[in-house]
Amino acid sequence: MAKEKWLIDLSEMDEFQRQILELSTEDSYLIRGCAGSGKTILALRRAHDIKIKSIAEKKPVSFTLLVYTKALRSFIKSGVLELGLDLNQVVHYDVWDESAVDYIVVDEVQDFDKEKIEAVRNAANISMMLYGDSHQQVYHGKMSTEEIADFLKLPQKELLRNYRLPKTIASFVSHVSDDLLLENKCVKLGTEKPRIIKFATWQQELDFIMNEIRTRNLTDTAILLPYNTKSAANYVPRNVHRNVESVSEYLDSQGFSHEFKMRDDNDWDRSDLDFDSELPKVLTWHSAKGLQFEAVFMPFCEYPYHDDWFVENYKKPLYVGLTRSYKHLYLTHSGNVSPFFKKIPPFKYDN
């Protein structure tokens, strides 16, 4: 199946999205929207409108589009080029030098710390447009979108529809999140329920994933993990395989071609992600923010030594991972299934 187009045409936008597009580039706002509501698309369109306005008025202006993850910057590259934007003006959070510009557009603002949000305000000479969703806040202790809007004294608008997630998946995911209205926001019905499948070993989980990708000829897939490296995963006993490093090594040992992104123990990013390729992508729940795939596989869902700390720090990143799929969602485990999923009614998933 061909990848689902993520940069939709203007004619395909709903009334809420069009209202956001029609806002003056001279005014500042915070836009709230659930996963799949089009926030990243609108952020790119905002940057494009700024460029077109500059050309029409024959007045050079400066702008920066800030994104929170390097994977998202790579994912939207095709859209940036399609809209004729300069990729150098799409800047990752960690490398932004806080230089003042006329316009700033921020995606995933809910994960910016207060100091960075103040820097955004100080750097925007004319206006800032911020997009975010508190339900997808993957790091603990950050401000909610409502608190950010109050802090910056920004008016708010909301996107009310989810175009990525099928209702069959949303009905399942709503039990993991605090967004009880998630299913009602979704437009697509869906053809498959999520699957929760138990295996005898973690290696069998990965063998199943490789076989499923091959036999179903899946060409837009992600394998999502909670940790980057073996040492990071080893903070929890019996947890060594639940990371990008171990999974990538196992896939290599089986001759299974894939791409991966991880942050190593020296805090360096290692990545060979190419979102124009059909190879499976292996990355963390955190790095998957803003991305979408036809099929998402989330192995090792038994979560050994599951405790209050894990719930507090990993519930929202898990939600991010669960909401990346626009068609198929697979959860596998080789032990007692995670408490995150035990309260989900069995009729909402298949085995």
Q: CA 262 → CA 23, 91, 142, 271, distances in Å?
A: 38, 19, 23, 6
User: Which range has highest mean pLDDT (28-32, 287-291, 306-310)?
Assistant: 28-32
Q: What is the pTM of this model?
A: 0.92
CATH number at residue 150: 3.40.50.300
Does 331 fall in a domain? yes
Q: Are residues 122 and 183 in the same domain?
A: no
For residue 306, pLDDT beyond 60: no
- Distance, CA of 351 to CA of 346 (rounded, Å): 9
- Beta strand pairing call for 124-132 and 29-33: parallel
Name the residue type at position 78. S
Name the residue type at position 301. C
Q: Which domain holds residue 31?
A: 10-159
pLDDT tens for each residue of 38-47 = 999 999 999 9
For residue 311, pLDDT beyond 80: no
Does 348 fall in a domain? no
Stretch (H or E) spanning 307: none
Per DSSP, the three-state class of 21 is helix
Q: Are residues 142 and 220 in the same domain?
A: no
- Distance, CA of 259 to CA of 71 (rounded, Å): 12
Q: Are residues 50 and 114 in the same domain?
A: yes
pLDDT band at 304 (very low <50, low <70, confident <90, very high): low
- Beta strand pairing call for 259-263 and 269-271: antiparallel
- Say what percent of the chain tops pLDDT 70: 95
For position 237, what pLDDT does the model report?
62
Report the pLDDT averaged over residues 130-135. Answer: 93
For residue 1, pLDDT beyond 80: no
Q: Which of 264, 328, 317 is nearest to 35 (CA)?
A: 317
Q: Which of 71, 148, 150 is nearest to 111 (CA)?
A: 148
Does 3 fall in a domain? no
For residue 235, pLDDT beyond 70: no
Overall domain count for the chain = 2
pLDDT tens for each residue of 270-297 = 888 999 999 999 999 999 999 999 999 9
Does 212 fall in a domain? yes
- Distance, CA of 239 to CA of 241 (rounded, Å): 6
Q: Which of 159, 187, 215 is the last residue of a domain?
A: 159
Does 74 fall in a domain? yes
Residue indicated by tokens 């203007």: 10
Q: Who has greater pLDDT, 79 or 234? A: 79
What are 157's strand-pairing partners? 31
Q: Are residues 333 and 219 in the same domain?
A: yes
pLDDT band at 94 (very low <50, low <70, confident <90, very high): confident
pLDDT band at 124 (very low <50, low <70, confident <90, very high): very high
Q: Are residues 148 and 199 in the same domain?
A: no
Helix, strand, coil shares, percent, the chain, to 5: 40, 20, 40
Q: Are residues 212 and 318 in the same domain?
A: yes
Radius of gyration of the CA atoms of the chain, in A: 20
For residue 234, pLDDT beyond 90: no
For residue 159, pLDDT beyond 70: yes
HSE (CB half, 13 Å, CA atoms) of 206? Answer: 23
- Distance, CA of 68 to CA of 157 (rounded, Å): 21
How far is the first Cα of the chain from the last one, in angstroms, to the nearest whole number?
A: 23
pLDDT, the chain, mean: 92
User: Which range has highest mean pLDDT (136-150, 163-177, 234-248, 310-324)?
Assistant: 163-177
Report the pLDDT averaged over residues 113-129. Answer: 96
Segments of 160-256 assigned E as strands = 195-198, 221-225
pLDDT band at 206 (very low <50, low <70, confident <90, very high): very high
Q: Are 290 and 310 in contact (CB under 8 A)?
A: no
For position 2, what pLDDT does the model report?
66
For residue 314, pLDDT beyond 90: no
- Say what percent of the chain tops pLDDT 90: 75
Q: CA 47 → CA 27, 153, 155, distances in Å?
A: 14, 22, 19
